[in-house]
């Protein structure tokens, strides 16, 4: 199909597709003349993937580029690739964060988060950047007085660990499929869980207001 | 304190503080001369709140303005305010989403999400925009072939419902405190849960690789 048809099939503007092509987020089509190329289903799929990572996952295009590179390099060792994929994602959320911001951790790597993780017995490499991410998100809750202490974090973690087990169980055995599932699952399931959490709040509040469910504490 | 000191206390640049003042995100200081004003702890607290919502919560400034308005209007009825707060948040995530995007639901309001919610028995108003949010996030997972079907969504929802119960239990009885907790908890706990989920993935993968935990299915 021509670029205009790819645009129609994917719902993405031709100008945006040209931008994806220039940035290497979309692989070139098969040249049919000096100015025209032919695109196929692999292009439709790729455009859909870039859109999902960008619009729903909120990843900036630079991060998407890194993620695609990891996903599409064949014949890699499974564990290496999973680690690389996780690393490509860290800090990649387009949340307007200022990396030099004041809410971040000090020179120690997430001291409170590290202590909590150790007490919980989770196997995490001490220099894993996710520790800083947890520290930063936790500190933001403290800054506004949300009352999120170690105990409530542990209660959350019990349920998040169960969610993580569902995720890990869904990872297929082949390396390419595994990387795809890990990266896309990490980025695209978060918005699903976020919507579910807000819907759960509504359901629980309504149930309690109607006296159908007592406060549990 | 002067604006320069407020900047030091809060770690936010003077130019940014002036912008917050112009946009009404920060209340004016007490005028001490024609060109100078005095700021106090309420200003430090407010700047911290705007920063947390913006940098960690990823909310655009327009949404933060709506949220602040809801949080700071005194003497409102509890239920009304909670509903208003939830509405102020919907669609407010700065995730680069294109509201006219193709991944959204059709003319029906989130038909698949609605059917799933009804089957689950969650009490949600049929025109609640969160239903569309779930539909959109779910569709994005389908678009890239993540295999997130009704059953896996229900497994997630079991655990998310438990998380929602922890959230709702943490809401204080007074209306102002309740709104603050609901809005800030919705926005700022998501990044904590997201970091926890990725840390859980690492822990589970490492435990399984070391043979400490068998695959459960």
Q: Which helix (H) or strand (E) holds A15?
A: helix A14-23
Residues B52 and B98 in one domain: no
Please tell me the predicted confidence (pLDDT) of residue A162. Answer: 97
* Confidence class for position A160, pLDDT limits 50, 70, 90: very high
Please tell me the predicted confidence (pLDDT) of residue B120. Answer: 95
* Confidence class for position B96, pLDDT limits 50, 70, 90: very low
Mutation for B interface: A160, A181, A190, A213, most B CBs within 10 A:
A160
Paired tokens of B106: 């059709």
* Confidence class for position B173, pLDDT limits 50, 70, 90: confident
Q: Which of A73-87, A119-133, B119-133 has the lowest mean pLDDT?
A: A73-87
Q: Of B80 and A203, which is predicted with more confidence?
A: A203
Taking only residues 159 to 198 of chain B, the set having a beta carbon closer than 8 angstroms to any beta carbon of chain A reads: 159-170, 180-182, 184-186, 188-198
By the CB < 8 Å criterion, does A86 face chain B?
yes
Q: Which residues make Cβ contacts (< 8 Å) with residue B158, sequence separation at least 6?
A: none
Confirm whether A2 is domain-assigned: no
- The CA distance from B180 to B49, in Å, is 11
Residues B86 and B3 in one domain: no
Residues B52 and B86 in one domain: no
Confirm whether A210 is domain-assigned: yes
Which range marks the domain in which residue A133 is found?
107-217
Residues B94 and B46 in one domain: no
Residues B111 and B52 in one domain: no
| pLDDT (average), residues B18-37 | 92
Please tell me the predicted confidence (pLDDT) of residue B77. Answer: 66
| pLDDT (average), residues A158-176 | 88
Mean model confidence pLDDT for chain A: 83
Q: Of B157 and A83, which is predicted with more confidence?
A: B157
Q: Which of A69, A57, A20 lies closest to B103 in space, CA to CA?
A: A57
- Tell which phi-psi region holds residue B102, choosing left (phi > 0), alpha (psi between -120 and 50) or beta: alpha
Residues B84 and B169 in one domain: yes
Confirm whether A75 is domain-assigned: no
Q: Which of A21-35, A164-178, B139-153, B182-196 has the lowest mean pLDDT?
A: A164-178
Share of chain B above pLDDT 70, in %: 81
By the CB < 8 Å criterion, does B8 face chain A?
no
Residues B6, B11, B15: CA angle, nearest 5 degrees: 70
Furthest C-alpha separation in chain A = 71
* Confidence class for position B37, pLDDT limits 50, 70, 90: very high
Confirm whether B64 is domain-assigned: no
Confirm whether A198 is domain-assigned: yes
Share of chain A above pLDDT 90, in %: 42
Residues B87 and B19 in one domain: no
Confirm whether A30 is domain-assigned: no
Please tell me the predicted confidence (pLDDT) of residue B108. Answer: 64
Provide ipTM, 2 decimals.
Answer: 0.77
Across the A/B interface, how many CB contacts are shorter than 8 Å?
311
Gap from B33 CA to chain A (nearest CA, Å): 30
By the CB < 8 Å criterion, does B44 face chain A?
no
- The CA distance from A215 to B82, in Å, is 18
Residues B134 and B50 in one domain: no
| pLDDT (average), residues A116-128 | 90
Confirm whether A26 is domain-assigned: no
Beta strands B30-31 and B37-38 are antiparallel
Domain boundary, last residue among B26, B56, B86: B56
- C-alpha to C-alpha distances, B137 to A141, A181, B128, nearest whole angstrom: 25, 16, 15
CB within 8 Å: B188 and A10: no
What ranges make up the beta strands (E) of chain A? 30-31, 37-38
Residues B180 and B103 in one domain: yes
- The CA distance from A118 to B31, in Å, is 50
DSSP reduced 3-state for B147? coil
| pLDDT (average), residues A153-174 | 92
Residues B28 and B108 in one domain: no
* Confidence class for position A91, pLDDT limits 50, 70, 90: low
CB A37 within 8 A of CB A30: yes
Query: Is the per-residue pLDDT at A95 higher than 50?
Result: no
Number of domains in chain A: 1
What ranges make up the beta strands (E) of chain B? 30-31, 37-38
Mean model confidence pLDDT for chain B: 83
- The CA distance from A212 to A192, in Å, is 26
Confirm whether A144 is domain-assigned: yes
Please tell me the predicted confidence (pLDDT) of residue A166. Answer: 94
| pLDDT (average), residues A99-104 | 41
Residues B8 and B98 in one domain: no
| pLDDT (average), residues A83-101 | 55
Residues B119 and B185 in one domain: yes
Q: What are phi and psi of A38, to 5 degrees?
A: -110, 135
């Amino acid at each position: 199909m021509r670029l205009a048809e790819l645009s129609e099939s994917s719902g993405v503007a031709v100008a945006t597709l040209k931008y994806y092509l220039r940035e290497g987020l979309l692989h070139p089509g098969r040249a049919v003349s000096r100015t025209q190329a032919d695109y196929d289903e692999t292009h439709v799929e790729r455009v859909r993937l870039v859109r999902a990572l960008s619009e729903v996952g909120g990843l900036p295009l630079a991060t998407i580029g890194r993620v695609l590179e990891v996903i599409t390099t064949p014949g890699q060792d499974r564990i290496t690739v999973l680690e690389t994929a996780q690393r490509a994602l860290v800090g990649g959320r387009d949340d307007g964060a200022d990396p030099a911001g004041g809410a971040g951790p000090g020179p120690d790597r997430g001291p409170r988060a590290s202590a909590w993780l150790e007490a919980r017995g989770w196997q995490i490499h001490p220099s894993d950047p996710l520790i800083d991410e947890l520290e930063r998100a936790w500190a933001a809750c403290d800054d506004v007085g949300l009352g999120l202490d170690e105990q409530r974090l542990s209660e959350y973690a019990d349920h998040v660990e169960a969610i993580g087990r569902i995720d890990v169980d869904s990872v297929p055995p082949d390396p390419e499929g595994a990387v795809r599932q890990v990266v896309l699952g990490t980025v695209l399931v978060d918005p699903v869980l976020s919507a579910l959490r807000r819907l759960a709040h509504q359901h629980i509040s309504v149930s309690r207001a109607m006296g159908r469910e007592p406060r549990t504490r």
